[in-house]
Structure 1
């Protein structure tokens, strides 16, 4: 199969890119590993409450005859120039393209601390996804901790599902949060959103020290200001911000800057006819993702006047992204959460002590199995970058667990 424009990711950026490119008449394919478009922010499920904006975008995608949405499909390898190896639940296949737009989003930054591998401990966004997918949490006691607006969103999702949210612990100091709140009137919609997500149990200058329990989570120990408190609970949702998903961009050879795919004013990557938009180019929220996606979509089909007209809106939301990054910058003391026996690589049971004196990621892998498990360093690699300053491992094909018959297509392609 071959298309004029291939878009990887059907979140806000990918949906906006497809709809922007559609009027050109180009053949467009939108590929995503979720069952339906929406990405993580508009994830569907039995307990999901989709916004009208998400529903409207889905309808618009379905109405465009030159847009094909390939749900439940993922990229597993680069098969050659402008060709990717794909796989869905039933089969693998090759996809060719003239233009590519990467809208691969972001994932949570998870930092190791004592007890973080106990059953009942998840990421903040992970808890949201589980609840939307049908996880029953009614009556459960939940603590949400880490950093960033996702904490409040996760707490709101849990409350709406009937959970008892006991604490929302934000590591940023009150002074930084007050400064951020003072700037919010520049984006009126965000003021209303913040008011809607407000939680009286929100605490600044507060972070997790340890998850306590034997067979599963029983309580959370928190640093709260200058004191330490222990909160009995059933679940802990803990996330320290977002990390751009750049693996496919790296595999293609796109230039990476500041842990994100580097783009120019047209959202173009360092490779000709390759673009990127949304959180794979840096975290900034759905509004920034959508305008970046629209710019990339217009630019990919040669509608540069349409793309340029969106630059002022992008600048407005980029300013919001910059304010987020400044206000929720991680405190260096979080590097001291892990103890000697705290697992850093959960897949291969590699503790902090085995990594602390290594020079870099390669040295760590040579002396342990760090990064060699199922997640292929996606969790421990980004954690190690924060803890030790190591450069995360470069991706190697396949980019995800893949069936052998799918991989054989690469050999057939070379032949």
Structure 2
């Protein structure tokens, strides 16, 4: 059992900001993250040496975190949490799986978000990726040089992903945004109050000046070639339909907050997000939340919310940050309205389209059930390794069902990690 005055779950921008603020003000801080390095999705692989001055915000944040004295423990996946003050993690090592326990006085949830995927015919084909997932693979060494890529879905992430893929040598044939120009125009106009975001968006678009950006368009089918890999996508604007050849499809429908730990602890929710006050405090007095689980609003919102949460944990004033935090929340509200999913996306799956990829459950088998619980009992939908993280948001969009409960462990944990902590690799494999 390790003890922390402030325990931060998640080492993305929000978690980094929270840990730094709390540690700089005298708290003993431990940060847990399931990745091998800090940074989360947006600052993936961030270290002081890798955070070069081309990304000034990342560079400053990593340097401050290192100087603050906060202890960052990577490779720890939280699978259990108790509001009484205990968290359990799983760490995979060369000698096996290790379970660790952490006790906290105050807890900051900075668990970020994941992509929302909507099933359509062919979405399980080799060559079809999540937009952010493909970007992460490229950062990890996957080559897209010379490959023709269609980027589709919704949200500001599409333009950023397309620009980064183009920098890595990909040929972006088109960017398909399901929201219409009529929805996007007010949001784009509001960026004048956020000049940094406006400059960033203009820079991304400048890198794609030869690439068509088609609003009000979406992919309705991924088409396989002779080798059963992606060959083209079928696209519609609601009036006409056409086919675009491509080697890869990067498709994601904005973001879904990672709120499983908050639900497990018993935090109160506001629709899909954790309910917080001006200090980022949840309904539990010793639990705080920052970043996407409290509302999808981007990097700047995550940073300011994380700093507020860290200061609040340390008992310090955060009044000077409230105006900035309110402006970022307003930006997030405008973004949510602009990129709201259109009703036509609910009709994308055919009866034989796989919805739950873990358990191979087609859309037809979900018809006639009363909700999540009934469907799980009859089809095992949502009961695979991802525990509904992929199919859950999709089914909520398609059928209006929402998960009714969250149970620990939050993901599969080897029995060996509990019963035989000193077992050899052979025993570990045999037990698993």
Q: TM-score range by the shorter chain?
A: over 0.9
Q: 1:203-242 alignment to 2 at 5 Å?
A: 203-214=214-225, 215-224=228-237, 226-242=239-255
TM-aligned CA deviation for residue 295 of structure 1: 0.7
Correspondence for 1:273 among 286, 289, 307:
286
* 8 Å contact kept, 2:267–2:284: yes
TM-aligned CA deviation for residue 23 of structure 1: 2.6
The secondary structure found in structure 2 opposite 1:86 is: strand
* Correspondence 1:24 to 2:31: no
* 8 Å contact kept, 1:168–1:202: yes
Correspondence for 1:351 among 331, 347, 362:
362
Gaps of 5+ in 1: 411-415
Do the aligned partners of residues 322 and 80 (structure 1) sit closer, same or farther apart at CA in structure 2, a change above 3 Å counting?
closer
Query: In angstroms, what is the RMSD of aligned CA positions?
Result: 1.9
Corresponding residue for residue 6 of structure 2: 5
* More off after superposition, 290-299 vs 194-203: 194-203
TM-aligned CA deviation for residue 393 of structure 1: 4.7
The secondary structure found in structure 2 opposite 1:326 is: helix
TM-aligned CA deviation for residue 94 of structure 1: 0.6
The secondary structure found in structure 2 opposite 1:177 is: helix
Q: Distance in 1 between matches of 2:83 and 2:68?
A: 29
TM-aligned CA deviation for residue 408 of structure 1: 4.4
Correspondence for 2:77 among 71, 74, 79:
74
The secondary structure found in structure 2 opposite 1:208 is: strand
TM-aligned CA deviation for residue 18 of structure 1: 1.1
* Correspondence 1:136 to 2:143: yes
Correspondence for 1:185 among 168, 187, 192:
192
Correspondence for 2:65 among 47, 53, 61:
61
Gaps of 5+ in 2: 422-432
* 8 Å contact kept, 2:82–2:265: no
Corresponding residue for residue 341 of structure 2: 330
TM-aligned CA deviation for residue 226 of structure 1: 2.1
* 8 Å contact kept, 1:221–1:230: yes
TM-aligned CA deviation for residue 86 of structure 1: 1.1
The secondary structure found in structure 1 opposite 2:351 is: coil
* Correspondence 1:152 to 2:159: yes
TM-aligned CA deviation for residue 52 of structure 1: 2.5
Q: 1:122-133 alignment to 2 at 5 Å?
A: 122-133=129-140
Q: Distance in 1 between matches of 2:385 and 2:231?
A: 27
TM-score, length-scaled by structure 2: 0.91
* 8 Å contact kept, 2:7–2:30: yes
Corresponding residue for residue 88 of structure 2: 85
TM-score, length-scaled by structure 1: 0.95
What is the total number of aligned residue pairs between the two structures? 407
Q: Distance in 2 between matches of 1:119 and 1:146?
A: 18
Do the aligned partners of residues 40 and 286 (structure 1) sit closer, same or farther apart at CA in structure 2, a change above 3 Å counting?
same
Q: Distance in 2 between matches of 1:371 and 1:395?
A: 12
TM-aligned CA deviation for residue 395 of structure 1: 2.3
* 8 Å contact kept, 1:45–1:132: no
